[in-house]
Amino acid sequence: MRTWIVAGNWKMHNTNEESVALAKAIKDGVSSLKNGEVVLAPPFTSLYRVAQIIKGSSISLAAQNMFYEDKGAFTGEISPVMLKDIGCTYVIIGHSERRKYFHEKDADVNLKVKKALALGLKPIMCVGETDEEREKNVTRAVVGRQVKEGLRGVDKIDNVVIAYEPVWAIGTGKVATPAQAQDVHAFIRAILKDIYHDAAAGIRILYGGSVTADNISELIAMEDIDGALVGGASLKTDGFLGIIKNIAGEK
Ligand code: 13P
């Protein structure tokens, strides 16, 4: 019932030339997709070039962040209107690196999610606990708060994608076990069910954190894991195509 998504978050990597080469190689490797979607999130500077390459293919474009106003005197920010204009379908919002280094709070995430939806962009809203929070056994409290606060005032959830990315698993090679990830994914879906009832069953919840072609199969076999948000492994054609192939084979 839910279609899978594999999204590559290139973070602050790749010049235009490198982005073009990677996007072309991925496009060539992704021919026909069954029940799924591939999304590329290059840095802002490469969005236009990547958009031209994937035009007419089954690959969608995402931005890694946005501001919550349409336009104005906000030096250095990028508006969702600009992202739509350049060809984005998705936008990553509230990534833990935004929360950690740029001090984004749940309230900022909420403003961005609402603005993205209002302008027809699909937010990929990221949530996840730190190592310390997991140790203290407050994972559910933290993730529950991030989900509820991030979605506050959102009445229609259909276009929202959630990404559960435990902070301790990002870029560390310390991937969550399938059971750990499924437990939090099911918890998130239960929260969505409380708020959005039947619509919760259709919401894609992605796992992110040290995903590779080697570990994705057992994660994606879990009932509530609907895809992956991939960092490091999305920067190499073979690694990323391997993840897509393994997800498409399982779901
Ligand atoms: P890694 O796959 O490099 O752990 O990064 C995950 C991530 O942050 C994707 O948004």
Per-residue model confidence (pLDDT) at position 222 = 97
Go through the domains of the chain in sequence order and give each one's CATH number: 5-250 (3.20.20.70)
Whole-model pTM: value is 0.98
Q: Across residues 207-224, what is the average pLDDT?
A: 97
Q: In this structure, are residues 104 and 94 in contact, taking their beta carbons and an 8 Å threshold?
A: yes
What phi and psi values does residue 64 have, to the nearest 5 degrees? Answer: -90, -10
Side chain identity at residue 199, one-letter code? A
The string of pLDDT tens digits covering residues 7-61 is 999 999 999 999 999 999 999 999 777 789 999 999 999 999 999 999 999 999 9
Instruction: For 116-153, give one letter per residue: b (16+ CB within 10 A) or e.
Output: bbeeebbbbbbbbbbeebbeeeebeebbbebbeebbee
103 has catalytic annotation: no
Q: In this structure, is the dihedral angle defined by the CA atoms of residues 191, 197, 200 and 201, taken in order, positive or negative?
A: positive
Per-residue model confidence (pLDDT) at position 31 = 73
- Ligand 1 centroid from CA 208, angstroms: 6
Phi/psi class of residue 38: alpha, beta or left (left: φ > 0; alpha: ψ in -120 to 50)? beta
Q: Which of 97, 129, 133, 165 is catalytic?
A: 165
- Ligand 1 centroid from CA 172, angstroms: 9
- Ligand 1 centroid from CA 165, angstroms: 8
Q: In this structure, are residues 173 and 212 in contact, taking their beta carbons and an 8 Å threshold?
A: no
- Averaged confidence pLDDT in the chain: 97
- Ligand 1 centroid from CA 198, angstroms: 30
The string of pLDDT tens digits covering residues 65-88 is 999 999 999 999 999 999 999 999
Mutate to test the pocket of ligand 1, among 5, 165, 174, 207 (most ligand atoms within 8 A of CB): 165
95 has catalytic annotation: yes
128 lines ligand 1 (CB under 6 A): no
Nearest atom within ligand 1 for CA of residue 126 = 10
